[in-house]
Structure 1
C-alpha cells in the first residue's frame, strides 16, 4: 500500500497474561456489541504519547530522555474497572476499557510527554484520558446507549495487572496485529 506513512507512539505495555484475559473479554463483548473493528489482543496498550510519522533522530532523542527519566521509576499496579466511549454518544468512534485513577500512570505519562516535547515533537494537547482501546466504529442498527457500558461491564470485579514497561511502537497499517514494539523501557522492579 503506497502513500501510507509509518506512525510511532509510546505506550504502557500490558503484560501477556492480561492480554490473554482481555482476549476472552473482547470475544465475549464482540458477540453482543456491533463495532466494525475489534483490536487484536496483542495490540492492547495504554497510549502515553502519539508521535505520528517521526524522523529517526527525533525518536532517538526522545528515547534517550525517556530512558534516563524512567530508570528510577518502579513498576506499579493498575486496575481496569469500567468501559467507556469516545465520539458521539449514540454512535461511538472508540470503545475502551477504563483504568482506576493512578498517580504513577500520570507521572509516567508526564515524563514521556515532556521527553517528546524536549525532542521537538508537537503533541496533541488534549487532557490525558488513560484507556485501552477495545473496538472502533459502532455499526449497530440501533443507537448506542450509555447504559450498555454498565450493563456489559466485564470489569465489575476489576482486572489488576503490574505495569512493567513503556514501549515505543511502530504501526503497520493493514496488518494484524498492527503494532510492532521497537524500543522497550523496563521499569525498575519493586524491592
Structure 2
C-alpha cells in the first residue's frame, strides 16, 4: 500500500530552543511512559494541517501564504506549561504550550485563511497552540496518579524564543526525524 506524504504549516522552533527542550524531554522520558516520543528536531507549533496534496495545489497555497505573511514580523513566544489531550487517566497527546499570543493567533489565522483559499479543507476545531512531545500513554498506573508526585517538578521553566520563521513541512513516515521543512517563510525583523 502506497503511503502519501502529508504537508502542514508550522511555526519553526529555533535550533537553540530545540536543544534546551531536548534536555527537558530526556528528563520527562525517564518518568513518563508514553509509547512514542517526538524527536527533538521535529518540535514545532502546527498552524494548518493540509494532508496529502498535489504539487499544483501546494504551489498555489505557497503563493497565498507568502502574500499573507509579507507584512508579518517575528515575535517572542514563551513556552511555559505542560498539558495533554485525551482522557485524564490515559492521554493520547502530551504537550508543552506557549503563553497566549495575539501575534501567534493572527499569524495562524492568515496562514489558515490562505490554505482555505487554495482549496484545502482544514480542521475546524479551535486553535490550541502546542508542541507535541509524546503520544499514547502506556503506564501501568493512570496518568494522573503517576504524575501526582512530581507534576510541579516536571513543569518547564519559562522558555522564551524568537519565532522568526514559518515552515511548510513534509512528513516522511517511518523516518526519525520525520518532518522536512520544504519551504521557509522568514518573518520581518
2:102, 2:151 → 1: CA distance?
25
2:80, 2:143 → 1: CA distance?
20
Unaligned runs of 5+ in 1: none
Alignment correspondent of 1:25: 24
1:152, 1:47 → 2: CA distance?
27
User: TM-score under structure 2 normalisation?
Assistant: 0.95
Alignment correspondent of 1:9: 8
Comparing 137-146 and 174-183, the one that deviates more: 137-146
Q: Aligned-pair RMSD on alpha carbons?
A: 1.3
Comparing 146-155 and 122-131, the one that deviates more: 146-155
1:184, 1:25 → 2: CA distance?
27
User: TM-score under structure 1 normalisation?
Assistant: 0.94
1:14, 1:152 → 2: CA distance?
24
Unaligned runs of 5+ in 2: none
Q: Which ranges of 4 or more aligned residues in structure 1 deviate by more than 3 Å?
A: 146-150
Alignment correspondent of 2:154: 153
Q: Quick one: structure 1 residues 30 and 97, their matched pair in 2 at CA, closer, same or farther if it must change by over 3 Å?
A: same
Q: Size of the alignment, in residue pairs?
A: 187
Alignment correspondent of 2:61: 62
Q: Quick one: structure 1 residues 38 and 152, their matched pair in 2 at CA, closer, same or farther if it must change by over 3 Å?
A: farther
